[in-house]
Amino acid sequence: MRFSKLYAPTTKEAPKDATLPSHQFLVRGGFISQVGSGLYNFLPMGKIVFDKIKNIVKEEMDATGAQEIQMGVVTPAELWKQSGRYNAFGKELCRLKDRKENEFVLGPTHEEVVVDIVRNRINSYKQLPLHLYQITTKFRDEARPRFGLLRGREFTMKDGYSFHEDETCMKKEFALMEETYTKIFTRLGLDFRAVDADSGAIGGSGSKEFMVLAQNGEDDIVVCQKCSYAANIEAAKRAKKVTTIEAPQADLSKFKTPDMKTIEDVCNFLHVDSFYSIKAVVKKAIYIDSEEIVVFFVRGSDELQEVKAINACGAIDLIDAELEEIQKVGLHAGFIGPVGLECVKFYIDFELKEEKNLVCGANEEDFHFVGVSMFNFKEERYADLSAVKAGDKCVCCGEELYVTKGIEVGHIFQLGQKYAKAMSATFLDKNGKSQPFYMGCYGVGVSRLVAVMIEASHDERGCMWNKQTAPYLLDIIISNPKDEAQSIYALSIYEALKKEKFEVLLDDRPERFGFKIKDYELIGFPYALIVGKELEEGLVEIVERKTLEKTVVKKEEVLDVLRNLLA
């Protein structure tokens, strides 16, 4: 390709809302353009990168025996009503009507459609297992579309769905997908971890996320310093917390604690370590067609983990409760405790179970209890609620945990029979009995990966593509296109490499050298060949983008050197 013909509108200015390097450089480098909030177009070079990533995903998926299909973006709402997700999915689901008032959704994920594809067509265990996948457009009306391709509203996902006769077979495919995703992200040259995850709106049991370790990640991941344990903070476990600080011995009694509404105030006043106190977090839980005030109790030294809390109460979402709403249900803000609490639904962190000598609110203005023991609560009250912190101990090996940032690039789920049951998708098993399918589903954020490649590899000048994903491997820059010798030599190298099927770009634009080298650094091809004045002495320069190191090479030796570098 000649740069003079390439549509790559590079700019000096980044969009105002672009805070991350991948967003800035993909727009400035002419890879993508924005048409609306969370809506992006891929320009020629962006499309090349996108296709390269897509091909790697496709090659690895095909190698597992999964079969590629293509499902429509527009889906009848009826299917979503059958699964129960039409209401449960919340505002991310874009719902629309046609001219006849029929309801549809724009597919944010395709479990419903794929179940419809196989139900009544696969009737026997003999036709199982089956894995269908696609690499297509998704639409999610994200609350905060941002960071360019990292969180769009329209984006491309590889989504695969597998069908099985039993749990064992489903787990086998899950393991195969874990292995396959590992191959995909390794081929892309990314530094990643597979972590235990929460299953979110997709549902089901065991799920794992693939996280690329990156400073600008939106996810907090908990990693063990010693063993292989790693989890999204939303699902992270820890060894039960203990302390060497002695418990304050006291019989159950009520203390006047006037105006002391925070845990710190109360603990300071009573000379108790916050480990021995119970903190109440009041939230408004949003359900499909109702809402209610719910209280979550965690240790004073812990924080509530919101996703865990959502899972505990089965809500779609939790929002902060207004003081007025709290008072209205009969709670005394600042003095709420589990003992004798009856006016609201509440949950207690499971690490508090059977603990003694605790301090908590007495559900009476200006009073706290001391000497509280946690023995008399029903089992259903307890749930894993607290957020794991750096320095907590690993649930597997007891070593210290640390917290780091990650970007989710893939998510694999064991769905079990959830969708097949809800949508009456069954087959006849070995004993001739009708059974709902066991399913798994597996997603890769293909368009997100374009941005992740840059988050993982850039400097202050621009992108640094690796050879697996670069739009072109080499940029041949003619320093002065008016110099005939430079042009002729550059063209000969360009033609020779093209003949050998190397992906090369010839920067033949009638621009100053400084402008062209800036574009090279911004776009970030792995190598550049600079054909300049020194050609008169038979010399040219090769630049490596990663290091910006320059090597002077004799013009006769250039082809051999480049063949080695680009291979």
Residue whose Cβ sits closest to ligand ATP: 445
Per CB under 6 A, 110 contacts ligand ATP: no
User: Please, which residue, 203 or 337, has the CB nearer to ligand ATP?
Assistant: 203
Per CB under 6 A, 107 contacts ligand ATP: no
- 94-97: strand order across its sheet: 74-76, 103-106, 94-97
Q: Which stretch binds ligand ATP (CB under 6 A): 54-62, 272-280, 286-294, 409-417?
A: 409-417
Q: Is 11 left (phi over 0), alpha (psi -120 to 50) or beta?
A: beta
Least separation in angstroms between CB 142 and ligand ATP: 5
Q: Which stretch binds ligand ATP (CB under 6 A): 241-249, 254-262, 405-413, 423-431?
A: 405-413
The single residue among 131, 208, 411, 545 that binds ligand ATP, judged by CB under 6 A, is 411
Least separation in angstroms between CB 204 and ligand ATP: 11
Residue type, 106: L
Per CB under 6 A, 115 contacts ligand ATP: no
Is cis: bond before 526, omega within 30 of 0? no
């990643």: which residue's tokens?
A: 192
Strands (E), 481-526: 504-507
User: Please, which residue, 60 or 408, has the CB nearer to ligand ATP?
Assistant: 408
Sites for ligand ATP among residues 117-156 (CB under 6 A): 140, 142, 151-152, 155
- The SS3 assignment for 318 reads strand
- 382-383: strand order across its sheet: 317-320, 278-286, 291-299, 345-349, 382-383
User: Please, which residue, 150 or 463, has the CB nearer to ligand ATP?
Assistant: 150
User: Please, which residue, 25 or 147, has the CB nearer to ligand ATP?
Assistant: 147
Least separation in angstroms between CB 405 and ligand ATP: 13
Per CB under 6 A, 221 contacts ligand ATP: no
The single residue among 410, 440, 462, 526 that binds ligand ATP, judged by CB under 6 A, is 410
Per CB under 6 A, 409 contacts ligand ATP: yes
Least separation in angstroms between CB 32 and ligand ATP: 13
How far is residue 179's CA from residue 410's CA, in Å, rounded to a whole number? 12
Which residues are registered as beta bridge partners of 40?
34
Q: Which residues of 520-544 are buried (b: 16+ CB within 10 A; e: fewer)?
A: bbbbbbbbbbbbbeebeeeebbbbe
User: Please, which residue, 207 or 479, has the CB nearer to ligand ATP?
Assistant: 207
Site string for ligand ATP, 179-218 (x = CB under 6 A): ---------------------x-x----------------
Residues 70, 75, 76, CA angle at the centre, nearest 5°?
145
Sites for ligand ATP among residues 427-446 (CB under 6 A): 443, 445
Strands (E), 81-191: 94-97, 103-106, 130-139, 154-164
How far is residue 274's CA from residue 262's CA, in Å, rounded to a whole number? 11
- The SS3 assignment for 361 reads strand
Residues in touch with ligand ATP (CB under 6 A) = 109, 140, 142, 151-152, 155, 157, 200, 202, 408-411, 443, 445, 447-448
